[in-house]
Chains A and B, each alone.
Chain A
């Protein structure tokens, strides 16, 4: 399903590469001992190093190295045993040192790959590199008419910049890539993936070319997009803008653009002419990072099961469909929840309840699975009640709603409300007999050939039993009696 933009003369293909900044989960910053928690009082998590005081020196937080290697391994990437921190020099008030410590010529992680499950099949998106760098502080422009305030809490926070190859060909693929990348880092515990809080930020490099061409045309870089939806919208807008530029005889300039979600458009921020010369050079305050193969091996041994592997296992172990498995592994918490529900139970039934009923409720109340009003254990009990014919699927939906509302155990709800399924053949027979006796006309019609009426009879019996009769038994008995 190729994404093409129809132009006046020809179709256009979109070429997209994403640069993702992922905040490393770590207690301390990349080069200082200051804390990293989100939402703290401005300038309350700033060490002398983070504030760029004279004579202060960075010291690498080794845990961040482990996290970067772990992420690299999770992306099936080459781990570079030798990597180097360099200084990226530019002036900005929220960059206290006047340079950002980053990795440039020698990143810690080289080429890797992210696999996407798209409706028309699997796509493999290349990862160019992953490197570590420190975040800058935050400039606050809206608290005073004349002054800008600086919050250095983020200054020095550890980031991983994950750069994809220009392998993405549609907004949908870009969205899928971002979601998949987020799932992987969340599985690995190396980034919380929270885009709202800025733990995951995305720059999109977008260019277009005539369909069928291999050229890479001038690209625009859309900076700092903070949701998957906006990334997709920004790319869509930008690609169409570029097609328009080409088709009206213009040429696309290399520039940095900003996405404005309110107006749904991208705007030029600065052109290549204003581009900084960052004057990268190896940071003389830091030694190169030289890892041993054992160090990497140790991290590899302790990697968790990642989404792709989990999906394969869910299909084979639980017999769920490929598409259900894809949904269930998209987030680690969902996969974990599902497995708790499914373990030792009818897994397909469990998958159904998680995907259709539970997700429905979560969407409605706007909660994530980790805040689900129903814990996995209780949903498991509900699945048990259905599998053991204690309640019917229809009754189960009522019980489920009650569970959402009250948080009670399904067994208790069934007991309290007397919702237990009637499986006593004698009791059901009485109800069936009564319905047949009371509706001679309908019985006649059925016997004359209106087979569809069986549904109506079932409905009547269920009504008489407040929906508690075992539907299968009702069906069997009705057919037997109606046929006479």
Chain B
């Protein structure tokens, strides 16, 4: 492929500004990359004609000296969770068959307003429920990373298509969403940067809801700087989302100073989970040493309620999902499977329209909210959530950022961990606590597993602490100097 697909967003931006290439040229090579990489199944819908149209418009703006915004002319991918005006939006679910929204989500609109060029809608776990992108109605996504054992690896999930697209040089960046780790875990599995901002930074308006109190949009990119550039375009208050924050949006890219001297980095002892592999432990220790060498001060911190995070998450998120997904009833849009009676129509439509994992979570959610169980599950989970948040608040009185592994293991083969849902849920053990606390967090590729698959390190800061987050992540990224490319990029060799 052209070397234009290897650029970072920052480099592409500079190239466009300096007229080294046009957006049409840049988009064109990416379109060819999308077409060439269809075997990855990263997209549910390609919007290649639209992309050319938008690229032309971008070049016109630039020719007139009036570029739109910080991402004008940059080709990106958008997770199929964001409603896009006039473009099929499925959340990778059968139940949204044929659903073409007459509206554009705030985040994808913001990205459009910043001038970016959408290449297509990326594949994902159905309704963002999953950690391997295997629950999609449109089939599994393949991780561009593999080793020579003949097995395709999962890209992680739920933003698996977005992560794969960025890793395989199909797209310069991608919009994802993170509920319990759905940006960070696939980014880690695919060796890219994945960032989840503070809950409320990005509007949820027009984003197909999974768990409203947790869902948050964020970027997947190849560098920390790119994540800062992309979040800049995505973030901002939205009066259409009552939970959207009015906190001013700082210049994220400007926070990347390379200077972390004197910053205190918390190392939470509770994240040393039972059975943690030595490669993860080693990676983590290496990260600590690197930040220490850069002048930061590592400090042990305690987040005592960490072990309750996963069970808490698997009460709160399904509870909200069971209610959020009630609107997919076959009455107004999407799939309808006709039946004799109304109740049967509901049952057949939802039975056929939702995949197994979605049905499982709806059942769990309905169960924990039902009369007689509400206090034992939902109310208790809310109390735990408060305690988990307090753990972090206490820790951030002492430290500026917290460093943890992103995932407990590297990408596994498609088909593995399917027998026991709990095994799948463990993927998010390190990302879920910060989701429950609504904190900003980022994963940076930090090394390879013994097998040769990417592993990420994970940084967390206090609410609206994105500037510190980007700053530390950038330093870590430079120190790690991770430049290995996925095997897919040299696939002729396969």
A-to-B contact residues, CB < 8 Å: 48, 51-60, 87, 89, 91, 93, 96-99, 150, 277, 279-281, 284-287
Q: How far is the CB of A205 from chain B (nearest CB, A)?
A: 20
> Which residues of chain B have C-beta atoms less than 8 A from A280's C-beta?
369, 374
Pick the contact of A93: B103, B207, B212, B342 (CB < 8 A). B342
Is the beta-carbon distance between A59 and B207 smaller than 8 angstroms? no
Listed by A's residue number, 8 A-B pairs whose Cβ atoms lie within 8 Å are: A87-B323, A91-B329, A93-B329, A93-B342, A281-B320, A281-B378, A284-B212, A287-B242
> Which residues of chain A have C-beta atoms less than 8 A from B333's C-beta?
53
Give Cα A51–Cα B371 distance, bound, in whole angstroms.
28
Is the beta-carbon distance between B326 and A99 smaller than 8 angstroms? yes
Closest residue to A90 on the B side, CB-wise? B326
Q: Is B396 among interface residues, defined by CB-CB distance under 8 A? A: no
> Which residues of chain A have C-beta atoms less than 8 A from B42's C-beta?
none
> Which residues of chain B have C-beta atoms less than 8 A from A93's C-beta?
329, 331, 342
Tell me the B82-116 residues at the A interface (CB within 8 Å): 82-83, 89, 91, 96, 99, 101-103, 105
> Which residues of chain B have C-beta atoms less than 8 A from A286's C-beta?
242-243
Q: Known: A55-B105, A89-B323, A91-B329. Is A287-B243 also a contact (CB below 8 A)? A: yes
Pick the contact of A57: B96, B99, B211, B241 (CB < 8 A). B241
Give Cα A55–Cα B206 distance, bound, in whole angstroms.
4
Is the beta-carbon distance between B331 and A55 smaller than 8 angstroms? no
Is the beta-carbon distance between B371 and A277 smaller than 8 angstroms? yes
Is the beta-carbon distance between A59 and B83 smaller than 8 angstroms? no
Q: Known: A91-B346, A93-B342. Is A285-B212 also a contact (CB below 8 A)? A: yes
Beyond the given A279-B370, A285-B212, please list 6 additional residue pairs across the A-B interface where CB-CB is below 8 A.
A48-B102, A53-B333, A54-B96, A55-B207, A285-B241, A286-B242
Q: How far is the CB of B342 from chain A (nearest CB, A)?
A: 7
Q: Known: A56-B205, A57-B240, A59-B239. Is A281-B374 also a contact (CB below 8 A)? A: yes
Is the beta-carbon distance between A55 and B240 smaller than 8 angstroms? no
Is the beta-carbon distance between B320 and A53 smaller than 8 angstroms? no
Q: How far is the CB of B67 from chain A (nearest CB, A)?
A: 29
Closest residue to A97 on the B side, CB-wise? B327
Is the beta-carbon distance between B369 and A281 smaller than 8 angstroms? yes
Q: How far is the CB of B79 from chain A (nearest CB, A)?
A: 12
> Which of the four size classes fits the interface of chain B?
35 or more
Is the beta-carbon distance between B204 and A55 smaller than 8 angstroms? yes
Q: Is B332 among interface residues, defined by CB-CB distance under 8 A? A: yes
Give Cα A96–Cα B329 distance, bound, in whole angstroms.
9
Tell me the B307-342 residues at the A interface (CB within 8 Å): 319-320, 322-323, 325-327, 329, 331-333, 342
Give Cα A99–Cα B242 distance, bound, in whole angstroms.
18
Q: How far is the CB of A198 from chain B (nearest CB, A)?
A: 22
Q: Known: A277-B370, A279-B366, A281-B319. Is A55-B208 also a contact (CB below 8 A)? A: yes
Give Cα A261–Cα B89 distance, bound, in whole angstroms.
48
Question: Do most interface residues of chain B lie in helix, strand or loop, or is the interface mixed?
Answer: loop
Q: Is B286 among interface residues, defined by CB-CB distance under 8 A? A: no
Give Cα A277–Cα B370 distance, bound, in whole angstroms.
7
Q: Is B213 among interface residues, defined by CB-CB distance under 8 A? A: yes
B-to-A contact residues, CB < 8 Å: 82-83, 89, 91, 96, 99, 101-103, 105, 204-209, 211-213, 239-243, 319-320, 322-323, 325-327, 329, 331-333, 342, 346, 366, 369-371, 374, 378
Is the beta-carbon distance between A58 and B327 smaller than 8 angstroms? no
Q: How far is the CB of A97 from chain B (nearest CB, A)?
A: 5
Q: Known: A57-B204, A98-B326. Is A150-B243 also a contact (CB below 8 A)? A: no
> Which residues of chain A have C-beta atoms less than 8 A from B323's C-beta?
87, 89, 98-99, 279, 281
Q: How far is the CB of A279 from chain B (nearest CB, A)?
A: 4
> Which residues of chain A have C-beta atoms less than 8 A from B378's C-beta?
281
> Which residues of chain B have C-beta atoms less than 8 A from A98's C-beta?
323, 325-327, 329
Closest residue to B316 on the A side, CB-wise? A284
Pick the contact of A55: B83, B102, B329, B370 (CB < 8 A). B83
Q: How far is the CB of A63 from chain B (nearest CB, A)?
A: 15
Q: How far is the CB of B453 from chain A (nearest CB, A)?
A: 34
Closest residue to A93 on the B side, CB-wise? B331
Give Cα A55–Cα B215 distance, bound, in whole angstroms.
11
Give Cα A59–Cα B239 distance, bound, in whole angstroms.
8
Pick the contact of B83: A54, A89, A287 (CB < 8 A). A54
> Which residues of chain A have C-beta atoms less than 8 A from B371's C-beta?
277, 279
> Which residues of chain B have C-beta atoms less than 8 A from A87's C-beta?
323
Is the beta-carbon distance between A54 and B91 smaller than 8 angstroms? yes
> Which residues of chain A have C-beta atoms less than 8 A from B99's C-beta?
54
Closest residue to A152 on the B side, CB-wise? B332
Give Cα A93–Cα B331 distance, bound, in whole angstroms.
6
Is the beta-carbon distance between A285 and B243 smaller than 8 angstroms? yes
Is the beta-carbon distance between B101 and A54 smaller than 8 angstroms? yes
Give Cα A59–Cα B378 distance, bound, in whole angstroms.
24
> Which residues of chain B have C-beta atoms less than 8 A from A279's C-beta?
322-323, 366, 369-371, 374
Closest residue to A51 on the B side, CB-wise? B332
Q: How far is the CB of B144 from chain A (nearest CB, A)?
A: 29
> Which residues of chain B have C-beta atoms less than 8 A from A99's C-beta?
323, 326
Top 7 A-B pairs, shortest CB-CB distance? A98-B326, A279-B369, A284-B212, A284-B213, A52-B327, A55-B206, A54-B208
> Which residues of chain A have C-beta atoms less than 8 A from B346's C-beta?
91
Q: How far is the CB of A128 from chain B (nearest CB, A)?
A: 21
> Which residues of chain B have C-beta atoms less than 8 A from A89's C-beta?
322-323, 326, 369
Give Cα A125–Cα B3 distance, bound, in whole angstroms.
80
Is the beta-carbon distance between A59 and B240 smaller than 8 angstroms? yes
> Which residues of chain A have C-beta atoms less than 8 A from B319's C-beta?
281
Give Cα A57–Cα B323 distance, bound, in whole angstroms.
13
> Which residues of chain A have C-beta atoms less than 8 A from B326's C-beta?
89, 91, 97-99
Q: How far is the CB of A177 from chain B (nearest CB, A)?
A: 31
Give Cα A212–Cα B102 distance, bound, in whole angstroms.
64
The listed residue with most B CB atoms (<10 A of its CB), out of A91, A281, A287, is A281
Give Cα A87–Cα B366 distance, bound, in whole angstroms.
13
> Which residues of chain B have C-beta atoms less than 8 A from A91's C-beta?
326, 329, 346
> Which residues of chain A have C-beta atoms less than 8 A from B208's C-beta?
54-55
Is the beta-carbon distance between B242 and A59 smaller than 8 angstroms? yes
Give Cα A281–Cα B375 distance, bound, in whole angstroms.
11
Q: How far is the CB of B28 from chain A (nearest CB, A)?
A: 31
> Which residues of chain A have C-beta atoms less than 8 A from B213's C-beta?
284
Q: How far is the CB of A466 from chain B (nearest CB, A)?
A: 74
Give Cα A288–Cα B228 distance, bound, in whole angstroms.
32
Q: How far is the CB of A248 from chain B (nearest CB, A)?
A: 33
Closest residue to B207 on the A side, CB-wise? A55
The listed residue with most A CB atoms (<10 A of its CB), out of B96, B208, B211, B327, is B327
Is the beta-carbon distance between B209 and A55 smaller than 8 angstroms? yes
Q: How far is the CB of A140 from chain B (nearest CB, A)?
A: 14
Closest residue to A32 on the B side, CB-wise? B240
> Which residues of chain A have C-beta atoms less than 8 A from B370's C-beta?
277, 279
Give Cα A57–Cα B107 distance, bound, in whole angstroms.
14
> Which residues of chain A have C-beta atoms less than 8 A from B101's C-beta?
53-55
Q: How far is the CB of A145 from chain B (nearest CB, A)?
A: 15
The listed residue with most B CB atoms (<10 A of its CB), out of A59, A284, A287, is A284
Is the beta-carbon distance between B369 and A57 smaller than 8 angstroms? no
> Which residues of chain A have C-beta atoms less than 8 A from B332's C-beta?
51-52, 96
